[in-house]
Amino acid sequence: MTPLLELDDVEKHFPVRDALGRSRGAVRAVDGVSLSVPEGGVLAIVGESGCGKSTLGRVALRLIEPDRGAIRFQGEDLRRLSGAALRARRRDMQIIFQDPFASLDPRMTVEDAVAEPLILHGTVPRARIRDRVAEMLVRVGLRPELARRWPHEFSGGQRQRIAIARALASGPKLVIGDEPVSALDVSVQAQVVNLLQDLIRDLGLTFILISHDLGVVRHIADRVAVMYLGRIVEEGPAPEVFANPRHPYTRALLAAVPGQGTAAPPLEGDVPSPISPPPGCRFHTRCPHAAARCSAEVPLLLGAGHRAACHFADTLPPAAPLREADPGGERLRRLQAFFRPPPAQTGAMP
């Protein structure tokens, strides 16, 4: 079966210029990423801020034009599509942005915003648009009477629900969430994560979650890809990556979750500049296991199912086990349970 989305050696460099317009190299935001996203389920892309995960998400939808590589959506290379054909494909691939205060047009009512994809793609006949908007609002947990209001009248959580309704209105197959809950309060985060989980399940969505919050990722992801300085360093089924991280960077990342308390020592130093990443393995400047080979030879992303880009992935000592009750995830789970109605009452809308 062909994967829903396939990235093949995708690269995006942002040129850096000085005050006089002379070239000063380029930020290698995405530097040769190959990734295949199977249909259904949640793939999480995790990494520190600045590692290129948001750029990767936008490149995957060709909202940012990559410099190199292929983006295949259902086997069709998006980079070969003309403007109009690409716009038509957007019906099937959508994105939810991080900041719900910035992602809604301040001069559009909720109804107009959610109706826009329906109008653009002719998803439903014109006469049915209003009904469909109301339906979408109910689906994301908002009262349909609020349709005539403007974004400034809503809270952050409500705005994010509106953005979700807008993204899902045209019935997309693939949805990318670029840190969809990290701008929200913790209690609201749990509700929106609940909502996303329900929608992913009910609508059979394929969801790419871009996040730095490992608590949320561990909770809802089926697969995880870890990025460092524009490259994917580890990729595999979420439970395996969390239980048995094979790349030293992944181990450090997991150990850094607050209160996780594994034995791994914290990382030394800062992330090197993405304008001139270190040669060989990009992580070797901070890696506790680095050897001479690491600064000379770029490691490939190897393995079946659970892949890691480390020369010593198979010979590293086993990772320190994660403490079972990770406080971040536990807090989220408790909040989620609190906001989810008990099973006996789920039949009717409250």
Partner 1 sequence: MSASDDRSAGGRADLNRPRQPMSAVIESPAVAPAAESPGRRALRRFLRHRLAVFGAVVVLVFAAVALLAPLVATADPNATSWSAIRRAPSLQYWFGTDENGRDVFSRVVWGARASMMAGTISVVVALLAGVPIGLLAGLVGGWVDALISRVADAMLSVPFLILAIALAAFLGPALENAMIAIAISASPVFVRLARGMALDARATDWVEAARALGNPPWRIGLLHVLPNIVPPLLVQATLAIAEAIIAEASLSFLGLGQQPPEPSWGSMLNSAQRFLTQAPWLAVFPGLAIFLVVLAFNLVGDGLRDALDPRSDKR
Should residue 319 be labelled a site residue for partner 1 when binding is judged by CB under 8 A?
no
136 binds partner 1 (CB under 8 A): yes
Enumerate residues 97-116 that contact partner 1 by CB under 8 A. 97, 99, 102-109, 116
Q: Which residues on adjacent β-strands are paired with residue 46?
A: 211, 226
Scanning 36-155, the segments in alpha helix (DSSP H) are 53-60, 83-89, 110-121, 129-139
120 binds partner 1 (CB under 8 A): yes
| For partner 1, the closer CB: 117 or 248 | 117
- Report if residue 318 touches partner 1, rule: CB under 8 A: no
In this chain, which of 12, 173, 246, 307 binds partner 1, going by CB under 8 A?
173
Nearer to partner 1, 1 or 19 (CB): 1
Q: Is 349 in the site for partner 1 (CB under 8 A)?
A: yes
Which one of 80, 201, 293, 323 is in contact with partner 1 (CB under 8 A)?
201
Q: CB of 146: closest distance to partner 1 in angstroms?
A: 6
Beta strands in 205-330 (DSSP E): 206-211, 223-228, 231-237, 307-308
Q: How far is the CB of 190 from partner 1 (least distance, A)?
A: 9
SS3 294: helix
Give yes or no for residue 274 binding partner 1 (CB under 8 A): no
Least distance between partner 1 and beta carbon 257 (Å)? 23
CA 183 to chain centroid, in Å, comes to 14
Size of the site for partner 1 (CB under 8 A): 73
**Residue for token digits 């094979």?**
246
| Phi-psi label, residue 122: left if phi above 0, alpha if psi -120 to 50, beta otherwise | left
CB 211, CB 43: distance < 8 Å = no
When the beta carbons of 26 and 146 are compared against partner 1, the nearer one is 146
The residues in 43-72 that bind partner 1, with binding defined as CB under 8 A, are: 58, 61, 63
Pick 289 or 306: Cβ nearer partner 1: 306
Query: 150-167 burial string, b = 16+ CB within 10 Å, else e?
Result: ebeebeebbbbbbbbbbb
243: phi then psi, degrees, rounded to nearest 5: -80, -35
Structure tokens at 248: 């030293």
Pick between residue 63 and residue 186 the one whose CB is nearest to partner 1. Answer: 63
Task: By CB under 8 A, name the one of 54, 55, 194, 211 that touches partner 1.
Answer: 194
Chain-centre distance of CA 340, in angstroms?
A: 24
